[in-house]
Amino acid sequence: MNRIYKIFLVFALFVFTQFNTYAQCAMCRASVENNVANGDTSIGAGLNAGILYLFVMPYLMAMVIGFFWYRAAKKRKEKLSFR
Q: Specify the number of domains making up the chain.
A: 1
77 within some domain:
yes
16 within some domain:
no
Nearest of 37, 53, 14, 17 to residue 45 by alpha carbon:
53
5 within some domain:
no
6 within some domain:
no
pLDDT, mean of residues 60-79: 93
Distance CA 82, CA 35 (A): 66
Write the pLDDT tens digit of every residue in 29-61. Answer: 777 778 878 877 777 777 777 778 888 989 999
> Does pTM surpass 0.85?
no
